[in-house]
């Protein structure tokens, strides 16, 4: 992020009317209709932070429990002590705190029989926020109680939102092997930013809308990569397609001046993590942003930018590693006079199968990167054998078989997890389920799952591809062979999965056709 993040407070102009914020939910639990009516009447015009009150009514503790099961966002509950029995209200409070584990809702205990629930004992023994006798609940007292409890609820909700958002940022930044890791990190940043500003987000925390925009110079494209609130549908779209005109204009203003723009309720943060990339964070809240708010966002984004740039660097390094692995695999393929996208297809098949079998995203991604080196050992096979168009003689085939152990020995020297996984793949992808494969004659589940997956992925692709010594097989013949070799050559579980997901396999075949 550039050091110069001067704020530009743009001239005021008319903006579209901001949508109404959702009401605060207040639960009244009392078996007397009159108490409900008086409370509603006294607070009918109550507004806190531009949000009105939505009353929810329960006439017994049991009814309140059912309501609370479906409304976890109730801010305040006024609870009578004596209802269907003398301790119904206290039992309800215990249920809320101990069973529902709801520590956010503010609980105000009300009683017309203080002798049944002495104030000192109740406050000491129960997690309540206020204790009132019904005789003292004047209009002014109700107003004061509502104001203080809502302030408390707002602050606790903000802390909880901050905790959840921070956890999302930490989790996203640690999941380096996820294909959409960068988008996940940006989405978490938006949610954390909402919490930092102490506002409420539509999608997670209530009322706030935010967008993350990316512009890549090489593509000449401005794209929405993450969003919350009403802009979620714009994710993946060009800037011009889904966003309102006023939002579009202020974002382009920030891109043009390469600086932060603040206008009323809107904040647009600009940073440039690399020469080829510009990023925008747009935030719109339900209240105007003060200079303190803007400074807070600026500080937050400066700190986030460090992690963001590290993620981009890690992404670039991993992308380079993947490309180098593919190029190595393709170089070996070319030396074998097998032109095309064989190693890319095997990588994609392997990833698809791994995910389908229940391997973790990380394991599947490692296998995807490692599998292109399954024939790495062929670099040590003489050209006369490697390029022979006809069937190999027995002694020639014995030499050819050494490529498996040779690939394993070359790759296992590395301490890198991907190359160690590639060594497993190179050494075991010619093993067979019944133990008749090579180089070790390993059988069943003693063959590493990576080897079992790449074995079927390699054969599936090789049979369907043109080679110097054969024409491609039709799909029906390939599937018949897999069925026939189920439990002998191939792991039966993997065969069953492939046979039930043929369309997904052939989509990969079509996506990476052989070069003509």
DSSP symbols for 228-283: EGGGGGGTTSBHHHHS-HHHHHHHHHHHHHTSEEEETTEEEEEEEEETTEEEEEEE
Is the pLDDT confidence value at 405 over 80? Answer: yes
pLDDT of residue 183: 63
CATH 3.90.1150.10 fits 336-511, yes or no: no
Residue 336: pLDDT band with limits 50, 70, 90: low
pLDDT of residue 302: 73
Q: Enter the tokens of residue 494.
A: 């993997």
Q: Which of 307-311, 321-325, 483-487 has the largest mean confidence?
A: 483-487
Query: Distances from the Cα of 136 to the Cαs of 106, 132, 234, in angstroms?
Result: 19, 7, 52
374 φ, ψ to 5°? Answer: -65, -30
- Bridge partners (DSSP) of residue 28 are 57, 78
Common-topology check for domains 7-16+171-314 and 336-511: no
pLDDT of residue 212: 76
Is the pLDDT confidence value at 162 over 80? Answer: no
Cα separation of the two ends of the chain:
45
Query: Minimum mean pLDDT among 132-136, 320-324, 457-461: which range?
Result: 320-324
Residue of 25, 242, 368, 378 with catalytic role: 378
Is the pLDDT confidence value at 411 over 80? Answer: yes
Q: Find the mean pLDDT for residues 397-416.
A: 91
* Between 137 and 363, residue with greater pLDDT: 363
CATH 3.30.450.40 fits 7-16+171-314, yes or no: yes
Q: Enter the tokens of residue 231.
A: 């802009």
Q: Enter the tokens of residue 188.
A: 């978490």
Q: What is the DSSP letter of 136?
A: G
Q: Enter the tokens of residue 301.
A: 């984004």
Q: Enter the tokens of residue 285.
A: 């809240």
382 φ, ψ to 5°? Answer: -60, 145
pLDDT of residue 425: 96
**Catalytic (active site) residue 141:** no
Tell me how far apart the alpha carbons of residues 325 and 58 are, in angstroms, rounded to a whole number.
Answer: 65
Q: Torsion-angle region of residue 270: left (phi > 0), alpha (psi -120 to 50) or beta?
A: beta
pLDDT of residue 505: 97
Is the pLDDT confidence value at 487 over 90? Answer: yes
Q: Find the mean pLDDT for residues 8-15.
A: 38
pLDDT of residue 165: 57
Please tell me the class of the 24-137 domain: alpha beta
Residue 180: pLDDT band with limits 50, 70, 90: very low
Q: Enter the tokens of residue 131.
A: 């204790």
Task: Centre a 10 Å sphere on the Cβ of residue 343 and count the other Cβ atoms it contains.
Answer: 26
DSSP string, 358-411: T--HHHHHHHHHHGGGTTGGGGGS-HHHHT--SPPPHHHHHHHHHHHHHHHHHH
pLDDT of residue 205: 26
Task: Centre a 10 Å sphere on the Cβ of residue 515 and count the other Cβ atoms it contains.
Answer: 6
pLDDT of residue 158: 79
pLDDT of residue 224: 83
Residue pair 246/209 in contact by the 8 Å Cβ criterion: no
Residue 469: pLDDT band with limits 50, 70, 90: low
Peptide bond between residue 439 and the one before it cis (omega within 30 degrees of 0): yes
Tell me how far apart the alpha carbons of residues 59 and 43 are, in angstroms, rounded to a whole number.
Answer: 19
**Residue 380 neighbours by CB under 8 Å, 6+ apart:** 402, 403, 406
pLDDT of residue 134: 80
Query: Minimum mean pLDDT among 187-191, 204-208, 401-405: which range?
Result: 204-208
Is the pLDDT confidence value at 333 over 90? Answer: no
pLDDT of residue 465: 86
Q: Enter the tokens of residue 284.
A: 């719109």
* Between 293 and 363, residue with greater pLDDT: 363
Q: Would you kindly state where each structural domain of the chain is located, as residue ranges?
A: 7-16+171-314, 24-137, 336-511
| Residue 504 burial by Cβ neighbours in a 10 Å radius (0-12, 13-18, 19+) | middle
Tell me how far apart the alpha carbons of residues 123 and 87 are, in angstroms, rounded to a whole number.
Answer: 15
Residue pair 459/359 in contact by the 8 Å Cβ criterion: no
% of the chain at pLDDT higher than 70: 81
User: 82-117: per-residue pLDDT in tens?
Assistant: 899 988 999 999 999 999 999 999 999 988 776 655
3-state secondary structure of 499: helix
Nearest to 112 by CA among 30, 183, 51: 30
Is the pLDDT confidence value at 217 over 70? Answer: no
User: 218-269: per-residue pLDDT in tens?
Assistant: 667 788 878 877 888 888 888 777 778 888 888 889 888 888 888 877 778 8
* Residue linked to tokens 């205990």: 109
User: Average pLDDT, whole number, for the chain?
Assistant: 82
% of the chain at pLDDT higher than 90: 42
Is the pLDDT confidence value at 175 over 60? Answer: no
Paired sense of beta strands 260-263 and 266-274, if any: antiparallel
DSSP collapsed to 3 states, 141-162 = HHHHHHHHHHHHHHHHHHHHHH
């Amino acid at each position: 992020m550039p050091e110069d993040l001067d704020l530009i407070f743009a001239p005021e102009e008319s903006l579209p009317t901001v949508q109404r914020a959702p009401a605060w939910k207040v639960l009244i639990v009392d078996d007397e209709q009159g108490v409900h009516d008086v409370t509603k009447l006294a607070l009918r015009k109550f507004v806190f932070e531009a949000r009105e009150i939505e009353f929810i009514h329960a006439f017994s503790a049991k009814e309140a429990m059912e309501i609370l099961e479906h409304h976890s966002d109730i801010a305040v509950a006024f609870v009578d002590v004596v209802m269907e029995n003398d301790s119904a209200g206290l039992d309800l409070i215990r249920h809320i705190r101990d069973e529902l584990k709801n520590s956010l809702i503010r609980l105000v205990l009300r009683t017309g029989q203080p002798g049944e629930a002495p104030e000192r004992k109740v406050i000491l023994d129960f997690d309540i926020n206020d204790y009132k006798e019904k005789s003292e609940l004047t209009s002014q007292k109700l107003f004061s109680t509502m104001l203080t409890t809502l302030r408390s609820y707002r602050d606790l909700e903000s802390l909880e939102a901050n905790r959840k958002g921070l956890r999302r940022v930490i989790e996203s930044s640690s999941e380096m092997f996820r294909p959409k890791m960068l988008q996940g990190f940006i989405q978490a940043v938006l949610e954390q930013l909402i919490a930092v500003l102490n506002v409420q987000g539509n999608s997670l925390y209530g009322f706030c809308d935010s967008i993350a925009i990316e512009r890549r110079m090489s593509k000449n494209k401005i794209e929405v990569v993450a969003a919350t609130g009403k802009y979620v549908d714009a994710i993946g779209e060009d800037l011009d397609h889904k966003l309102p005109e006023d939002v579009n204009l202020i974002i382009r203003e920030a891109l043009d001046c390469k600086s932060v723009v603040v206008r009323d309720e809107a904040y647009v943060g600009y940073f440039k993590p690399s020469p080829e990339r510009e990023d925008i964070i747009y935030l719109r809240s339900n209240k105007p942003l003060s200079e303190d708010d803007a400074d807070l966002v600026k500080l937050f984004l400066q700190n986030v930018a460090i992690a963001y740039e590290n993620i981009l660097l890690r992404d670039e390094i991993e992308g380079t590693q993947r490309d180098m692995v593919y190029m190595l695999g393709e170089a070996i393929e070319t030396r074998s006079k097998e032109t095309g996208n064989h190693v890319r297809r095997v990588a994609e098949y392997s990833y698809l199968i791994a995910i389908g079998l229940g391997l973790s995203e990380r394991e599947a991604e490692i296998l995807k990167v490692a599998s292109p080196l399954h024939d790495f050992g062929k670099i040590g096979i003489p050209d006369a054998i490697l390029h022979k168009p006809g069937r190999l003689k027995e002694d020639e085939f014995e030499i050819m078989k050494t490529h498996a152990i040779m690939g394993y020995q070359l790759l296992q020297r590395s301490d890198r997890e991907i190359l160690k996984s590639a060594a497993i793949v190179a050494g075991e992808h010619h093993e067979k389920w019944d133990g008749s494969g090579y180089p070790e004659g390993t059988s069943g589940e003693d063959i590493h799952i990576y080897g079992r997956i790449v074995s079927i992925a390699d054969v599936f692709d090789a049979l369907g591809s043109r080679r110097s010594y054969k024409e491609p097989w039709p799909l029906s013949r390939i599937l018949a062979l897999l069925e026939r070799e189920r439990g002998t050559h191939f792991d039966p579980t993997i065969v069953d999965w492939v046979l039930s997901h043929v369309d997904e396999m052939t989509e990969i075949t079509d996506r990476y056709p052989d070069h003509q």
